[in-house]
Structure 1
Amino acid sequence: MATRSSASSDQQSFMADTQPHPPIDPTNFDLIVIGTGLPESIIAAAASTAGKSVLHLDPNSNYGSHYSSLTLNDLISFLNTQSPNPNLNINQQHLVTESSDNTIAIDLVTRGIYSGVEICCYDQSVEKESRKFSLDLAGPRVLFCADLCVEMLLKSSGNQYVEFKNVDASYVCDGNGELMNVPDSKSAVFKDKTLKYSEKNQLNSFFKLVQGHLEGVKSGASGGDDGKVISEEDLERPFGAFLEKMKLPPKIKSIILYAIAMVDYDQDAGETCKDVLKTRDGIDRLALYHSSVGRFPNALGALIYPIYGQGELPQAFCRRAAVKGCLYVLRMPVISVLLEKDSGNYKGVKLVSGQEITSNKLVMDPSFTITSSYSEALQDVSKVFNVGTVTGKLARGICITKSPLKPDTSSCLVIYPPRSLYPDQATSIRVLQLGSNLAVCPSGMFVFYISVLCDDAVEGKKSLHAAIDSLFSVGTSGTTDTSSSDQTTEVKPTLLWSALYIQDIIEGVMGPVVMTPTPDGNLNYNDLLHATSKLFRNMYPDDEFFPETSNTDTSDQLEDDSEAGIDS
């Protein structure tokens, strides 16, 4: 059984704890990676596996960067220090300096990707337990049992360093504000007490249609063959329109679109919908969901969550990188990037210690950037630095209570489809409840993660507050929950503490200096991992991204007691 540990306990020289700024030896590497977020950690592990010499640096004292799981006080500190700095331009006049006869140093600055941070404490006992929390900066997140992250953990052998538990249940909010169970299999449909007999038949008939299509495609049948395979015309049709063609009622349609296919935007908004899901993609999402249900004996549903938090995932890849020879140094800020004076090509980095380290390639956390002040010194640095731009925003919330949403349910996912909480709610709001059995909070407390895509902070905060008002009652200091298992009526959990913030979405950028992406708004990591593998393949087109090994058998099972040792 896997146990919790940090990457610093590996065989490699993790020097961050020995002295403030130790000298690094050697001083030349194939690759330098700045930041230990999930994309950076995967690239470091893949490059190390491919035989590259890798130096992995992080100015923080913990692993994970924007994918960290932090104590309550550390979370507050991180959000505040990573927020926009109004004094950013004060020292920009000296950002370009000559480091040596042939080298120019361009100073790095940190751009804040979090804003609108609001921390509210209604019960002081929560803050006293700060160190017993392991709070995800990028929640809510889960893994599907058959998704790309699980496969990558198996393929890289990172599964040896992380364990999971099953997410107990999923709910979707109906038009009346009530939470309905999400039936994710044929047996679950028949056991569901909220669906009418006719609705159960319709849902099972649709699941049967999808299964028949997938089997037909696998056997090589073409669209329309005996009705077994969905036609090409329907596959290109909007998924919402296809569900209407199948004459599915609004309740069933909502379950499929927003709680199984995990669509963000209102698919009934017509031409104003920002992201219309095609039937082809919708079928693929249903296939992922259903192939995840029951894949592991002790995870009966589709979703699992890592014990100790999502921050365990980048640590798992860091440990694999370390085993393959990657050198790690925490608490080591990089103050500038070195360019060759004549050509402007990337050469290396300068550390806060003053030491200069050279490498062939550089990968950087998206919160690091440079200013436009370099343009006078070099005419075409854009061929080296192509800093990612903000493409969207996410509103995130973390809430702490002393009781769950449903009795005897330690962990669950709740989906609020568009317009289910208020008329102009444009996107789905996702909520993940976790209990102490996942080692993310003290016994007797529960953590809730909320997220929603938004155009601006006002819209995002409105969505967060709507979800909070629907889920919780706001307590005062010393208030305790009145809900208990012997009560016949459900009482809303009392809110003890909350943190709300807006996160910028920045896509990864390829170039001589590679910028990794920020966490996106998805529930799982599939899109993020596709982007990360693409960056690696562009960097090293002749190297395989985690080559197959003999010990990665995808039939590996979860450990007993629903602990997800995806062990090989």
Structure 2
Amino acid sequence: MADAPAAGGGFPAQDYPTIDPTSFDVVLCGTGLPEAVLAAACAAAGKTVLHVDPNPFYGSLFSSLPLPSLPSFLSPSPSDDPAPSPSPSSAAAVDLRRRSPYSEVETSGAVPEPSRRFTADLVGPRLLYCADEAVDLLLRSGGSHHVEFKSVEGGTLLYWDGDLYPVPDSRQAIFKDTTLQLREKNLLFRFFKLVQAHIAASAAGAAAAGEGEASGRLPDEDLDLPFVEFLKRQNLSPKMRAVVLYAIAMADYDQDGVESCERLLTTREGVKTIALYSSSIGRFANAEGAFIYPMYGHGELPQAFCRCAAVLRMPATALLVDEEKKRYVGIRLASGQDILCQQLILDPSYEIPPLDMPSDAPVSNLPRKVARGICIISSSVRQDTSNVLVVFPPKSLEEEQITAVRVLQLSSNLAVCPPGMFMAYLSTPCTDAFTGKKCISKAIDALFSTKVSNDLEDHLEKNSEENKESVKPTLLWSCVYVQEIIQGTSGTALSCPIPDENMDYRSILESTKMLFTDICPNEEFLPRNSAPKYASDNDSDSAEALYST
């Protein structure tokens, strides 16, 4: 974690060294999570890899930044792009430019001192399932030696009818939940038993478990149903449907509007996520719940993978073009040196001009958007809870709300803020900036008090032990912004996936694996034996090594 770089990475062009060799199988620009994973995977597959980045920190659009560096990263100056350097090469070149995916940045309040004790994720709110593929990739690549996690011990809370309720996500949680009526408990028990039987039968395979409903597997006609319709057939109440749809299956859009829903979840998809959720509970002996979060922020994940393929801290200023074949063949570094490659991969902030159309050609489809918020608050949203996820289902804030809003509260035990304060991340997918920021603002108003005391010490004193139950956390500082979700590109210059609206990395890793298949069609993606050996290793595949107590 470091301050955002000055123009050209903070070094004059003449200070950059030349490198040898000057030709590689794969060149990657940027250290976002997809680029870092691809660099590790390509190196493990035997490819020669050059990994470059202009920043003095890891992560690019997936980074975790000290709070003072956040404004300049979200709203960069045009002068931050390094000027193209002259080169003696005769290769045709196209200037490499970057564009920020962030807009509508709005901050309020004053950051408490010391401000550098606060670390902000650009991808928040985001978590990893304990049984996530990302965890397995860390183990297989050896990245697990460079990152630690803590559990989200507060679990998940559902905002319903103006109050917060614990999400009953297991038999034990259902049994202990005093807010549920006996009928609701019985129906929820029966639903989870039905789903678990299907998961077990699917894992065992049709040959061992038999065919049809007798095996415990759900019929295909049920699996192809909209998940909300399947839940209605189980007689679950609207509140319990919201629990399953938005707090466990992680649906983003209003599932009751079947005809107008932008992303309708099928039963098959919902059950798959429930299976991941269920298998995550209890994977780590000392972890509470299904979710874990990396110490020091999500920027630690790309850093861990970058240890598998060294990074050259130098900007790329231009793309090299084979004009005859109409393909990109390399990059020009800030030193003026030309580097050739078979495959070029760039982080999504780089603009890649199509070679078969004018660079100013109109974009055919508008990118998706996600509204995000970062807040510093004075106390926890729930007493005696440090880290917790809060879910606002569609229509819970207002009738016009068509997307879920998720809020992740983090405490100082994750080394992201000073003791006595909390970080809170919010996000919701949106079609336009106004709607997205409106949802974020309403969620902030529902959870936090926005009346900030002029004297921070007076404010903290007000939140004494006797007032914690009745007083909302005070919002001390906030930053709300909108991020475009730019689609990756294919061809001779690949663009990696950008942080999306999801709570986890499944979609991003799936896209990353597809890019790897394009580059290395006959190679395994980060095979288990690709992890480097460390002298202190007892069991390099031990998942417990990831978890910090």
Q: TM-score, normalised by structure 1?
A: 0.87
Partner of 1:35: 30
- Give the structure 2 partner of residue 329 of structure 1: 312
Q: What are the Cα deviations for residues 497-517 of structure 1, in whole angstroms up to 9, with x where unaligned?
A: 111110000122221111001
8 Å contact from structure 1 (residues 389, 507) kept in 2: no
Return the letter of the residue paired with 2:266. Answer: K
Deviation of the 1:180 alpha carbon: 0.7
Distance 1:313 1:345, change over 3 A: same
Of the three residues 348, 359, 376, the one matched with 1:400 is: 376
CA pair 20-457 structure 1, distance change in 2 beyond 3 A? farther
CA distance in 2, matches of 1:360, 1:388: 28
> Is residue 483–residue 490 contact of structure 1 (8 Å, CA) maintained in 2?
no
Which one of the candidate residues 252, 255, 263 is aligned to 1:264?
252
CA distance in 1, matches of 2:264, 2:210: 25
Identify unmatched segments of 5+ residues in structure 2: 3-9, 532-538
**Given that residues 87 and 338 in structure 2 are in contact (C-alpha distance below 8 angstroms), is that contact kept between their aligned partners in structure 1?**
no
Cα pair 1:387 1:509 within 8 Å, conserved: no
1:477 matched to 2:454? The reply is yes
Q: Is the 8 A contact 2:369 2:485 kept in 1?
A: yes
RMSD: 3.0
Tell me the equivalent position of 1:191. 176
Asked if 1 retains the 8 angstrom alpha-carbon contact of 2:382 and 2:469, the reply is: no
Q: Indicate yes or no: 2:128 matched with 1:115.
A: no
User: d(CA) in 1 for partners of 2:80 and 2:18?
Assistant: 31
Q: Which residue of 2 aligns with 1:533?
A: 513
Match of 1:491 in 2: 471
Say if 1:345 and 1:371 are closer, same or farther in 2 by CA, change over 3 A: closer
SS in 2 for 1:270: coil
- 2:40 matched residue in structure 1: 45
Larger mean Cα displacement after TM superposition, 15-24 or 220-229: 15-24
Match of 2:534 in 1: none
Specify whether residues 45 and 555 from structure 1 end up closer, same or farther in structure 2 by C-alpha distance, changes over 3 A only: closer
In structure 1, the residue corresponding to 2:232 is in which secondary structure?
Answer: helix
Match for 2:434 among 447, 458, 465? 458
Aligned residue in 1 for 2:137: 152
Contact 1:223–1:232, Cα closer than 8 Å, also in 2: no
1: CA distance, partners of 2:464 / 2:299? 32
Q: Which residue does the alignment assign to 1:312?
A: 300
Unmatched tracts of structure 1, length 5 or more:
6-14, 323-327, 373-377
Aligned residues: 527
Question: Does 2:167 match 1:182?
Answer: yes
Please list the CA deviations of residues 321-362 of structure 1 after superposition, one character each: whole Å capped at 9, or x if unmatched: 23xxxxx222x2211101123333322111122111111111
Three-state SS of the structure 2 residue aligned to 1:283 is: helix
Determine the C-alpha separation between the residues in 2 that align with 1:425 and 1:86.
39
Q: Residue type matched to 2:300 in 1?
A: E
Secondary structure (helix, strand or coil) at the match of 1:271 reads coil
Shift of the 390–536 alpha-carbon distance from structure 1 to 2, 3 Å rule, reads farther
Matched letter for residue 174 of structure 2: V
Alignment-derived partner of residue 422 in structure 2: 446
3-state SS, counterpart of residue 400 of structure 2: coil
Code of the aligned partner of 1:142: L
Instruction: Please identify, of 471-480 and 406-415, the stretch whose mean Cα deviation from structure 2 is larger.
Output: 471-480
Please, which of 505, 523, 545 is the counterpart of residue 543 of structure 1?
523
* 1:231 corresponds to: 219
CA change 1:336–1:268 in 2 (3 A) is: same
**Preserved contact between residue 389 and residue 506 of structure 1 (Cα < 8 Å):** no
Aligned residue type for 1:112: S
User: What's 1:339 paired with?
Assistant: 321
Give CA deviations for 1:229-259 in whole Å, capped at 9, x if unaligned.
Answer: 2111111100000000111111111111110
Distance 1:501 1:150, change over 3 A: same
* Cα distance in 2, alignment partners of residues 265 and 304 from structure 1: 24
CA-to-aligned-CA distance 1:354-413 (integer Å, 9 cap, x gap): 1111111110011111457xxxxx75699xx99997530000000001211111111000
1:283 to 2:271 alignment: yes
| 1:47-104 CA-partner distances (Å, limit 9, x unpaired) | 111121111111112110000000011111111117xx6999xx9xx99x99744x21
- Describe the shift of the 1:16–1:557 C-alpha distance in structure 2 as closer, same or farther (beyond 3 A): farther
Query: Paired residue for 1:427?
Result: 403
Alignment partner for residue 78 of structure 1, among 73, 82, 105? 73
**Kept in 2: contact 1:143–1:525 (CA 8 A):** yes
Is 2:350 aligned against 1:368? yes
Q: Partner of 2:483 in structure 1?
A: 503
The residue type paired with residue 168 of structure 1 is E
Following TM superposition, by how much is the alpha carbon of 1:107 offset from its aligned partner in structure 2, in angstroms? 0.6
Partners of 2:463 and 2:419 in 1: CA distance: 16
> Using a 3 Å threshold, how does the CA distance of structure 1 residues 426 and 223 change in structure 2: closer, same or farther?
farther
Answer yes or no: is 1:137 the counterpart of 2:110.
no
**Is residue 390–residue 407 contact of structure 2 (8 Å, CA) maintained in 1?**
yes
